Structure 1
């Protein structure tokens, strides 16, 4: 079994407020929830950077830019996905300059508005960074207020590994494929990827949170798939309890790897994307896929609710190389 040297811990906002982070990372996008963490914890004197995109600069983008500027958060605008990882790693290296070798680097990352590729890039970079020194990363996810799901089916232009570091590999190529899918509320997307992968068996994880209407919307959007699933393969998870979710996903995939090639497909909340990436970090043969319309997606406002999710990753030197 491939296993890296990291552990997870539950944390709360009160703990986050008291920590003097070496670096705080935000996404500078068009959703108003992009500044929710900044509102909750303030800038204080932490080194902080907000990474922008080279698309989708409408809706709340200007307000977010102004909010980050007021708190003296460095902004890297007009950044393509292909440029992101190098810029992120540059900020990591700059932040660690002049720190002693025994210093535990503390990083806070708001994943609410990062796309899946960028979130995978963050995790990949952290794994590489941790090969050389200890690092503690707190991940924050702001749960959006309920919005009605998009009408009709979505045409996907991207169906592949979320990032080269998480492409996985087949221990035994002849083994069948098992899929573990985090459900979202886009009509028919999960069923489409199951058919594409020709996966059997299939487990699904529908999200539950304080924004209660999402759960019914998710079940309705995935009704055809859910009706076909055998009993026990529908595993609801609580968005606000990522540690429990990781234990469930990691335990399931660890068992499946004995007989299957495992693919994780995280639709829905970004916190489940993070959980999938951490499971694949621990077990290198797991593949994490993304299914998306890419930049063709219609920009939609996502306002922050009062609910959020937090989890800490403590990683030490000697980690599994990605």
Structure 2
């Protein structure tokens, strides 16, 4: 696989989209339906009774897109079978889109893994993400209920136990998540990816809710990344992982925008899936929040 600088914009043979409770879930589909080819829409078996989820599902149904709802295990198995059938029927290099906007981190990681190992050589996989309009951060500290590998295949390798860990940590705007994870891992070396978005209110919230960890990390280990430049962020993360691997064992923990999770998966796969990618979740204590599309869509393409 090779991540390429210029993102592929279609037309696509296959597209995988998310069915969620946010208005922006439909953005890519609404804007580019004729460009998406055969469409598979993946939904959930929780938070699926909200009015917006039902409205999104109805809009997808009216367009005759294929819809499947289930838990992460069911979704992964169904997508694998759907993909296998499409590969056999088309018997060619494929241009595939996956919109990760409303996919959970574990789900998007599993699907990226499946697509990259299954698509025929010469295919392209384009990962897209709709940036949301500003929504205030949850009040108070965000509880941490689950910490661990984002999917089993990206749990990494034990490697040299004499090497210390380098935590490569993406920051989100939830209060307490990043510092909680850093304290849990207790790594001697911490590198921070600090997002710069299209709305300064997001940026201010990230800074405000991460004061504790930003005050601990030297400025030389804080990497600012532009949310609308995913290819540059990928290069920065890949180069950092390559550099710190010489003397430490890197661990990627991409909090914040989901596109950083996707980039972390790509970096891990480029290093033979030896670099662990972790997730931090508040599980069911996280309340559904509707987010509207800002009108800014970002994407990055992998050549298989």
Q: TM-score range by the shorter chain?
A: over 0.9
**Is 2:206 the counterpart of 1:218?**
yes
> 1:119 aligns to what?
108
In structure 2, distance between residues paired with 1:107 and 1:228: 42
**Is 2:13 the counterpart of 1:22?**
yes
- Check the 8 A contact 1:140/1:308 in 2, yes or no: yes
> 2:38 aligns to what?
47
- Check the 8 A contact 1:10/1:310 in 2, yes or no: no
**Is 2:300 the counterpart of 1:308?**
no
SS in 1 for 2:222: coil
Q: Which runs of 4+ in 1 moved over 4 A?
A: none
> 1:72 aligns to what?
64
TM-score after normalising by structure 1: 0.90
In structure 2, distance between residues paired with 1:10 and 1:212: 26
- Check the 8 A contact 1:59/1:301 in 2, yes or no: no
- Check the 8 A contact 1:22/1:95 in 2, yes or no: no
In structure 2, distance between residues paired with 1:45 and 1:216: 36
Displacement of 1:211: 2.1
Displacement of 1:93: 1.0
> 1:272 aligns to what?
260
> 1:91 aligns to what?
82
CA gap of 1:59–1:302, structure 2 versus 1, over 3 A, is farther
**Is 2:8 the counterpart of 1:8?**
no
In structure 2, distance between residues paired with 1:301 and 1:7: 32
> 1:149 aligns to what?
137
Which residue, out of 250, 256, 260, partners 1:262?
Answer: 250
- Check the 8 A contact 2:12/2:35 in 1, yes or no: no
- Check the 8 A contact 1:109/1:140 in 2, yes or no: yes
1:136-159 deviation line (CA, Å, top 9, x unaligned):
011110001011100111222210
Displacement of 1:285: 2.1
> 2:283 aligns to what?
294
SS in 1 for 2:294: strand
1:157-205 deviation line (CA, Å, top 9, x unaligned):
2100000111001320121110111110000111111111111211111
- Check the 8 A contact 2:194/2:225 in 1, yes or no: yes
- Check the 8 A contact 2:143/2:177 in 1, yes or no: no
Displacement of 1:134: 3.1
SS in 2 for 1:98: helix
* 1:167-206 → structure 2 map (5 Å cutoff): 167-206=155-194
- Check the 8 A contact 2:166/2:187 in 1, yes or no: yes
**Is 2:26 the counterpart of 1:35?**
yes
Answer 1 or 2: which has greater helix percent.
2
Unaligned runs of 5+ in 2: none
Displacement of 1:44: 5.4
- Check the 8 A contact 2:13/2:36 in 1, yes or no: no
Displacement of 1:50: 0.6
The alignment of Structure 1 onto Structure 2 pairs a total of residues equal to 302
CA gap of 1:178–1:59, structure 2 versus 1, over 3 A, is farther
In structure 2, distance between residues paired with 1:216 and 1:194: 21
